Amino acid sequence: MRLEGKVALITGGASGIGRATVLKFIREGAKVVIADMNLSQAEDVVAEVDALGFEGAAAAVQTDVSVYADVAAAVARAVEIFGKLDVIFNNAGIAGGKPLLDHDPEVDYAPLIRIDQDGVYYGILAAGRQFRDQGTPGVIISTSSIYGEQAAELSFTYSAAKAAVISFTRSAAYELAEYGIRAVAITPGRVATPIINQFNDELKATFASEQLRGAMTHPDEIANVVAFLASDEASVINGTVVHVDDGYSVFKKRLDLPVF
């Protein structure tokens, strides 16, 4: 098991990519603290872990990632329960979209920046300080997005926040390398999470067509990559943006080509 003996904190771990990663980490031998605004749902994931035969390997803590004190408390809680911290997966996030000129800054800008951008900054800062104080290596993995590298409809704020995650990751890798800390960002494409599954079938079919397999990515597939990045096998992956988008960023649109 590639994560045997490691302790991880996963924000947004109660659903979607976060939940899938909790379960993957547990199966790979890690202990996991699930940090989520929805404590009841996080506790349901803990119960799921227990039912799989890994009783005591997961714990839940209610965390608002837009508040630094909450994120620092989640880090401290992980150390309190499991004795240390080895990995943080800054995954909590929200989505939203509206034409720029229709924005209400308090609705369409501030919340996404506080959660998708500031929440990652707080996770990097709190975990980085813990790794330094422990005197042990650590891994910081943060969820950006394909939108962090390109413009798209209705995504002015979301794209900005996700671009910041990429910049944070590169700067953190540079600054924290002396402490043996790695920082990596992932850029998912169209993933079948609750955020996307709420849409109608026609829109979901359009989303699927934007990826090379013609299907949306399953959260488990992202979790597999995150587990690898958290492991010692990925020791040379640092300051890197890892595309987990099934080719979304490779092409714009499929064409019916003429026969030559």
| pLDDT score of 32 more than 80 | yes
What span, in angstroms and rounded, lies between the C-alpha atoms of 199 and 161? 23
- Is 158 in the active site? yes
pLDDT digits (tens, 9 = 90+) for 104-129: 999 999 999 999 999 999 999 999 99
Look at residue 1 and tell me if it is in a domain: no
Look at residue 50 and tell me if it is in a domain: yes
Task: Specify the pLDDT at position 197.
Answer: 83
- Burial zone of 69 (CB within 10 Å; 0-12 exposed, 13-18 middle, 19+ buried): exposed
Look at residue 201 and tell me if it is in a domain: yes
Look at residue 189 and tell me if it is in a domain: yes
* Total count of domains within the chain: 1
- Give me the helices (H) in 177-211, please: 194-197, 201-209
Average pLDDT, the chain: 96
pLDDT digits (tens, 9 = 90+) for 128-157: 999 999 999 999 999 999 999 999 889 999
pLDDT band (50, 70, 90) for residue 86: very high
The enclosing domain of 176 has a CATH number of 3.40.50.720
Portion of the chain with pLDDT greater than 70, in percent? 99
Task: Specify the pLDDT at position 255.
Answer: 73
Domain that holds residue 233: 7-245
Element (H, E) at 182: strand 181-188
Look at residue 256 and tell me if it is in a domain: no
Look at residue 142 and tell me if it is in a domain: yes
| pLDDT score of 258 more than 80 | no
What span, in angstroms and rounded, lies between the C-alpha atoms of 186 and 11? 15
What span, in angstroms and rounded, lies between the C-alpha atoms of 247 and 27? 28
Lowest mean pLDDT among 40-54, 82-96, 104-118, 191-205: 191-205
Q: Return the number of other C-beta atoms located less than 10 Å from residue 175's C-beta.
A: 13
Terminal CA-CA length for the chain: 52
| More confident site: 80 or 199 | 80
Task: Specify the pLDDT at position 252.
Answer: 78
Task: Specify the pLDDT at position 260.
Answer: 66
Report which of 255, 254, 259 is spatially closest to residue 209, judged by C-alpha positions. 254
Look at residue 250 and tell me if it is in a domain: no
Q: Is 180 left (phi over 0), alpha (psi -120 to 50) or beta?
A: left
Long-range contacts formed by 38-43: CB under 8 A, 24+ apart: 38/14, 38/62, 41/14, 41/15, 42/13, 42/14
pLDDT digits (tens, 9 = 90+) for 202-240: 888 988 999 999 999 999 999 999 999 999 999 999 999
Q: Return the number of other C-beta atoms located less than 10 Å from residue 99's C-beta.
A: 10
pTM: 0.96
Catalytic pick from 122, 147, 158, 248?
Answer: 158
Q: Return the number of other C-beta atoms located less than 10 Å from residue 119's C-beta.
A: 29
Q: Average pLDDT of 31-59?
A: 98
pLDDT digits (tens, 9 = 90+) for 157-183: 999 999 999 999 999 999 999 999 999
| Cβ-proximal residues to 200 (8 Å cutoff; 6+ apart), any chain | none
SS3 51: helix
Look at residue 141 and tell me if it is in a domain: yes
